[in-house]
């Protein structure tokens, strides 16, 4: 950890004394918050006893943040882990405060103003016949895992089943994914079983790179919005789910750290603190996309394979998952279905790899949309009255402008355009270029140059479905009659059909016809996708 770029300023300041400066203040203890046999997995009893005597503050950042983690794994860390931590905390005789880092999105898919309010024990986000009980959830997950192992399921099957089970349980109680569900249960456990332990909960929103400290732009890993930024910059994202008028709640990492420090000093027992920007300094989805587009237009990434700058396009935003699904079905699934049918012709089976490759890309995109749709359509605004009180305490307790600046976490001080264009994206490129280069979200485009559409035909949208069926039927009859030479160049036909569908899509979504057309479009897509190769080609 100490070798990371994050510590370069300290390293430069202390030079050869850096190691001693750190290790005189830091002692690393290996542990495991999910270990139920030993307190936090610390097996050395002498070390445990020493910690019970010396520890005065506990800051819990331990979590698995995978939205769709295996249910047993997420429960063990994000929920049961809190009980293990409390058992340890209750033995620390000098403990002043336990600060727990949660997430603002434990609120689920709530609209409007989200209060800084603790959950009631067993609370759910939608009506159910039973209250939420973390012990029952733990038993269900354990039983499910035991069944899978008794049936000698493969590790891949176990992983997939336990992930699906987590989503199922989260959705049952009203949460969109396993991560926020198990974090919410962790908060409930903290408040229910803390007894005399003084607790503070911080709920940050979407965390970005550092704003100022220790220097601007440092980032660890790719966050939700960073994956979208990277995909746009690489020219791999032309559409996504989102409403331009919604607020996207962002906060730089160093402001979250400052809020944690102030929470340790001034935080009140049992209090919830939202750390975000949606109330005081909102940034809208349309603005965020414009800033990203403007940056990569002025500072394009370089495609080393093609040896040319990557040209970015403005992202088309779809406000409903239904319209996005229609777009994907017509623009990508239907051309891929045609390509699959073409690849089934004996002398054109070379296109099977092209189909498989692009279908895999499309499935990756769909998984990504599914994963982040909750954030893309989130319509809540996070109250920060309690956090404002922390800022006021800093002003009263300090009076020193330098200290106030050092521990600032006021989102009002952020110029979003300047920060995103001049700090966050350059930092993302500098510190995470390898991740950006390896990132898998890719635009679905047909790899063969013969199938790549460069020109659009002006064909009326009302003809696309009959024309497609007629063309394929004629081809079917020709092949069934035993002709050895095709009437048309098959790749050329596929190109024409793809171009035609692109025009249809433009007509549907950019000339904005009346809404009653959408069910007909959906019906046409379903009909075409339901046609089998046997019907079309007699094979």
- pLDDT winner (highest mean) among 347-351, 466-470, 506-510: 347-351
Whole-prediction pTM = 0.80
Instruction: For residues 92-108, give the mean pLDDT.
Output: 96
User: Hey, which residues are catalytic here?
Assistant: 179, 183
Q: Most confidently modeled of 41-50, 494-503, 508-517?
A: 41-50
Q: Which of 96-105, 238-247, 478-487 has the highest mean pLDDT?
A: 96-105
* Rounded Cα–Cα distance for residues 99 and 181 (Å): 20
pLDDT digits (tens, 9 = 90+) for 467-484: 444 444 445 444 444 444
Average the pLDDT over each of 99-113, 170-184, 419-433, 525-539 and give the range with the smallest value.
525-539
pLDDT for residue 55: 96
**CA–CA distance, 132 with 136 (Å, rounded to integer):** 8
Which segment of 64-78, 152-166, 324-338, 432-446 scores lowest on mean pLDDT? 432-446
In this prediction, residue 446 has a pLDDT band, given cuts at 50, 70 and 90, of very low
Task: Work out the pLDDT band at 453, boundaries 50, 70, 90.
Answer: very low
118 pLDDT tier (thresholds 50, 70, 90): very high
pLDDT confidence bin for 450, thresholds 50/70/90: very low
**Strand-strand pairing, 283-284 and 247-248:** antiparallel
Looking at residue 38, what is its pLDDT? Answer: 75
The closest alpha carbon to 195, from 102, 38, 58, 83, belongs to 83
Q: What is the DSSP string of 328-353?
A: HIIIIIHHHHHHHHHHTSGGGGGGHH
Q: Starting at the earlier edge strand, list the strands of the sheet with 271-275.
A: 57-60, 97-101, 199-204, 271-275
Higher pLDDT, 507 or 34: 34
Preceding peptide of 292 cis, ω within 30°: no
pLDDT at position 399 is: 67
8 Å CB contact between 473 and 528 = no
Three-class SS state of 439 = coil
Per-residue pLDDT for 261 more than 60?
yes
Report in angstroms the alpha-carbon separations of 332 from 46, 138, 232, 294, 446: 62, 41, 18, 27, 10
* Cα dist from 65 to 183, 228, 248, 295, whole Å: 9, 18, 19, 29
Please state which of the ranges 35-44, 118-127, 148-157, 374-383 shows the lowest mean pLDDT: 35-44
pLDDT (0 to 100) of residue 502:
55
The pLDDT of 344-351, averaged and rounded, is: 73
Kindly state the tokens that stand for 230.
């990277």
pLDDT tens-place string over residues 279-334: 999 999 999 999 999 999 999 988 877 788 899 989 999 998 888 888 888 788 87
pLDDT-derived band at 454 (thresholds 50, 70, 90) equals: very low
The pLDDT of residue 132 is above 90 = yes
């Amino acid at each position: 950890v100490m070798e990371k770029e994050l510590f370069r300023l300290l390293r430069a300041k202390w030079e050869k004394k850096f190691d001693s400066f750190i290790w005189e203040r830091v002692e690393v203890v290996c542990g495991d918050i999910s270990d139920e046999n030993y307190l936090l997995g610390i097996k050395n009893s002498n070390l445990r006893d020493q910690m019970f005597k010396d520890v005065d503050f506990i800051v819990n950042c331990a979590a698995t943040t995978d939205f769709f983690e295996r249910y047993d794994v997420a429960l063990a860390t994000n929920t049961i882990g809190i009980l293990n931590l409390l058992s340890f905390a209750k033995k620390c005789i000098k403990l002043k405060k336990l600060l727990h880092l949660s997430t603002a999105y434990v609120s689920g898919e709530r609209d409007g103003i989200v209060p800084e309010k603790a959950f009631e024990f067993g609370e759910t986000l939608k009506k159910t016949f039973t209250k939420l009980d973390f012990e029952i959830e733990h038993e269900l997950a354990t039983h499910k895992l035991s069944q899978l192992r008794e049936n000698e399921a493969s590790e891949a099957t176990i992983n997939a089943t336990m992930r699906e089970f987590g989503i199922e349980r989260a959705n049952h109680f009203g949460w969109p994914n396993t991560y926020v569900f198990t974090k919410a249960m962790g908060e409930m456990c903290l408040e229910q079983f803390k007894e005399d332990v003084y607790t503070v909960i911080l709920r940050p929103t979407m965390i970005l790179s550092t704003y100022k400290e220790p220097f601007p732009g440092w980032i660890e890993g790719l966050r939700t919005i960073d994956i979208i930024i990277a995909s746009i910059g690489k020219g791999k994202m032309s559409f996504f789910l989102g409403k331009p008028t919604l607020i996207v709640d962002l906060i730089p990492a160093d402001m979250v750290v400052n809020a944690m420090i102030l929470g340790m000093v001034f935080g009140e027992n049992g209090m919830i603190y939202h750390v975000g920007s949606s109330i005081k300094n909102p940034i809208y989805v349309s603005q965020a996309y414009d800033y990203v587009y403007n940056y990569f237009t002025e500072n394009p990434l370089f495609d080393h394979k093609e040896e040319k700058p990557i040209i970015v396009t403005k992202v088309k935003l779809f406000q409903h998952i239904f319209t996005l699904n229609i777009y994907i079905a017509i623009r990508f699934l239907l051309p891929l279905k045609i390509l699959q049918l073409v690849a089934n012709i004996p002398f054109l089976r070379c296109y099977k790899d092209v189909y498989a490759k692009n279908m895999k890309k499309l499935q990756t995109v769909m998984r990504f949309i599914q994963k982040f749709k909750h954030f893309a359509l989130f319509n809540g605004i996070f109250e920060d009255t309690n956090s404002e009180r922390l800022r006021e305490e800093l002003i009263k307790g300090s009076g020193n402008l330098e200290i106030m600046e050092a521990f600032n976490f006021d989102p009002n001080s952020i110029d979003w355009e300047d920060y995103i264009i001049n700090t966050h994206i350059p930092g993302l490129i500098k510190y995470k270029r390898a991740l950006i280069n390896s990132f898998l979200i890719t635009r679905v485009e047909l790899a063969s140059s013969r199938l790549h559409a460069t020109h659009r035909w002006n064909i009326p949208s009302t003809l696309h479905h009959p024309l497609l069926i007629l063309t394929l039927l004629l081809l079917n009859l020709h092949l069934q009659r035993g002709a050895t030479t095709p009437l048309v160049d098959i790749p050329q036909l596929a190109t024409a059909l793809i171009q035609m569908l692109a025009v249809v899509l433009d007509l549907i979504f950019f000339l904005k016809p009346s809404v009653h057309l959408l069910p007909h479009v959906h019906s046409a897509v379903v009909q075409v996708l339901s046609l089998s190769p046997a019907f079309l080609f007699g094979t």
